[in-house]
Chain A
Amino acid sequence: MKRAVKQGVTILLAGVAALAMAGCGKADKDYDVYFFNQKSEIAESLNDLAAEYEAETGKKVKVFTVGTTEGSETMRSELKSKQYPTLFSSNAIAFEEWKSAGYALGAEEISNGELKALYESVPDALKLQFQGDGNYGIPYNMEGYGLIADQQMLQEVLDTEDLESFTEDYKAAGYEEFQGMVTALDEFIKNGSAAEFTLNGNTYSTAGEKTELTQNLNGVFAVAGAEKWTYGNHFGNYPISTVYSNVYDVRESEPDKADNLKTPIMKSLEELDFLTRYTAGPDGAVSRGPQFINSTVTGYDQAVQTFAEGKAIFIKNGNWIYANVAKVDEEVADRLTMLPMKVNFSDEDIMVEGLDVEKMNRSIPEFVSQYYIVNAKATEEEQKAAEDFLLWLNTSETGQDYIVNKFAFVPFNAGEETTLENPLSNALITYKVADDLLANPFDAAPSSWGTECYGKYIMEQLFVNPEEWSEEELEEIAGECVDYWKSGMEEW
């Protein structure tokens, strides 16, 4: 009987071994290009595009999409598998991992001459670099954020048809004038009476009475108080921008450079203290306190809805909210415009060369969300196929049509002639053409600084505090934020 046992064991072991071999053996690939995409918004259109590519060239493109936080975890294991992606995507910061692990093909190694030229046509500020060097990807698109408003709403609140001169004056205005405007708007919302303010020295006045559209207003700003990233990351980028010129500057600088952040951080908190006194809510104005960070009242979707329903004049957010606003009210979505956020800094606070308060006040941060990267560990043949597809995607008529119309992307090489359905995206192009751009260095902030430190303090200590925030408290928080930044850098 012992033999029977032995036989049984052998058979089982053989079975397991065979299974294991099958798992590790050379995989049969039924595609020419495998593209791992990390932007879920375009997943469907990307599949359509792959079908068109196959119809046109006979080459099969397999597209796999995983967005948000799980994206890099899935991609990590995919890249290590036998059926690895030959083309993948990454943002500028996560890229360090893929490059260090040897997955990124640089522009100089691209064999397709036309594609190589496309790599080289990417403006320096948008290039995907490693340790401040090289050129490893083609940008998906441009995204940006600022103060978003409904133009019709602005016209009725200001009782003027001429938004163009208002916009010009607004861009030129400083922080004090901006504060004057906010208090005047608040007075109008509360009393429905005319209030005067100046922008760039020119006097403006709110309407004398409310209209059908403006009577719903209950605050100046819609704030997603329960969502740390909206202020932790995007608002936090303004103080960071005074010290660091871009993501690579953050990565490559000495930790002590972060000491310069302290004053800008304090000033940015003072600004938030001011802004959050004028917050609109779903059912009437919201004041700071526990409800201010209650996700059923001030969650992201709720804040966008409050804005889209005309209960707030402004919302500080990015061009991506177009789709969410359109879900609530398509007409409002098509009337959106983006103004720059005003900053509470002085020229002495700004360390970045070529930047001053005036430029910050008329600029909006724009950045590349994802890049296409060719897998350097793929075989030469696979790389060639991936390169051909990437070139076709970015230069063919069909590809261009998809980028602008189906993906609704602002192409990285967009010029004045590019127009999109999303008015916010068109606004981004206007700022880009005028070169009124800020970088997005918060992306490189160590240890999730935006949400785990700066945004966390704002939410846990400041937003729940209805009183005026004391200078000592703000100074302490700013100090902690600098320390956190520095100790986070040690973990790199």
Chain B
Amino acid sequence: MEKYYKKWFKVLSLPAVILFVVVILVPFVMGVAYSFTAWRGSYFKGSEHWYGALIGLKNYIKVFNSQKFISAFLYTIKFTVVAVIVKNIVSLALALMVRRIGKGKGIFRTIYFFPNLLGGLAMGFVWSFIFQNVFSMMLFGEDSPIHIPFLTNMLQDPNKAVFAMALMATWQTAGYLMLIYLNGLNNIPEDLYEAASIDGATAIQKFRHITVPMLMPAFTIVFFLTLSSSFKMLDENLALTNGDFGTRMLSLQILLTTRENTPPNYGMAQAQAVIFFILIAVVSIAQVIITKRKEIEA
């Protein structure tokens, strides 16, 4: 079988390569080129062709001078920090819990995984109702028995909204990340724990010195997934706050750039997309390198 794959590797991978080139690589290269032009969606300002409308770095300068872009950038970082921490803690805790359960393991896994199957935008509107109505008026409002101001009108304050969006994003993805952690946990040989027990290690010591190091490959994957998905988050942002109250994140900022001006300034939106790509690439690669270094073999 291996021989077969070796021989046919190039042919078998061809369809995927062609698709990648046509759907991703070509538009990407074109996009980078267009980010240096006065592209207005249907036409290039001042010319018939893109190379006639080259304006150098003007789009990029505009982007870095744009208050909206800078505030979206800072807010995205803020959200990403909170979301990555919360998602990891919750999904690891879920994995540890589910692993210890004997009966009904499957049911819990299904329940935790379920939100992951629901669409981001639709669930965003459901959560918007939960935050605005259930939280603000029924559960934690001024007239309700447990009055917790932090949990009311969470969508009307940029700091509260970080947690509101992180809450929803965690609820949606924790089950999926839990599966990755579960898989990692199952791959840790039991005898390591047995040996540690014989040596008299406590539960916390076992977790720190066996579970965490052995889970490093899973951490690498989960960190990568949470980091890039938090950075790129759009649906929740759009549905929950629509970027109001200073909660606009980078994806939404790029989307709205094409809608805020007529004729739409696609060149400037494209410049933001290029910066966005570089940002995510740098952050993700740095993270993978760092966590990879910590991975160990048992």
Contacts and interface: CB of A to CB of B under 8 A. Distances in A.
Interface size class of A (residues with CB under 8 A): 35 or more
A8 B12 CA distance: 10
A81 B136 CA distance: 49
Nearest to A447: B260
Given A12-B15, A294-B136, A296-B133, A452 B40 contact: no
B28 interface: no
Interface in A204-240: 228
Contacts of A293: 156
Contacts of B14: 9, 12
B152 A290 contact: yes
Interface string B127-163: 0110011001100000000000000110010000000
Q: Which residue, B62, B132, B156, has most C-beta atoms of chain A within 10 A?
A: B132
B18 A16 contact: yes
Contacts of A24: none
Contact of B42 (A5, A100, A295, A460): A100
A295 B41 CA distance: 33
B40 A100 contact: yes
B262 A93 contact: yes
A9 to B, nearest CB: 6
A456 B244 contact: yes
Q: Which residue, B45, B260, B262, has most C-beta atoms of chain A within 10 A?
A: B262
A252 to B, nearest CB: 15
B204 to A, nearest CB: 43
Given A290-B136, A294-B136, A452 B153 contact: no
B156 A491 contact: no
A275 to B, nearest CB: 21
Nearest to A95: B262
B7 interface: yes
A285 interface: no
Nearest to A96: B263
Nearest to B9: A5
A8 B43 contact: no
B259 interface: yes
Contacts, number: 83
Nearest to A79: B42
Contacts of A460: 156, 244-245
B259 A448 contact: yes
Contacts of A448: 256, 259-261
Contact of A76 (B42, B45, B133, B260): B42
Interface in B19-74: 40-43, 45, 62
Q: Is the interface of A mostly helix, strand, loop or mixed?
A: helix
Given A12-B15, A290-B156, A101 B132 contact: no
B244 A296 contact: no
A477 interface: no
B265 interface: yes
Contacts of B259: 69, 448
A5 B132 CA distance: 61
B17 to A, nearest CB: 10
Given A96-B263, A290-B136, A459-B244, A80 B11 contact: no
A100 B45 contact: yes
Contacts of A16: 18
A97 B263 contact: yes
Contacts of A103: 42
B213 interface: no
B30 to A, nearest CB: 14
The 9 nearest A-B residue pairs measured at CB: A97-B263, A101-B42, A101-B43, A290-B153, A448-B260, A8-B11, A296-B133, A93-B262, A447-B260
26 contacts: A1-B7, A5-B7, A9-B11, A9-B14, A12-B14, A76-B41, A79-B42, A94-B262, A97-B41, A97-B42, A100-B42, A100-B263, A101-B43, A102-B43, A103-B42, A291-B137, A294-B136, A294-B153, A295-B132, A446-B261, A447-B260, A448-B259, A452-B260, A459-B244, A460-B245, A464-B156
Interface of A: 1, 5, 8-9, 12, 16, 69, 72-73, 76, 79-80, 93-94, 96-98, 100-103, 228, 290-291, 293-296, 446-448, 452, 456, 459-460, 464, 488, 491-492
Given A103-B42, A291-B136, 8 more contacts: A5-B7, A5-B8, A9-B14, A79-B42, A97-B40, A296-B132, A296-B133, A488-B261
Interface of B: 7-8, 10-11, 14-15, 18, 40-43, 45, 62, 128-129, 132-133, 136-137, 152-153, 156, 244-245, 256, 258-265, 268
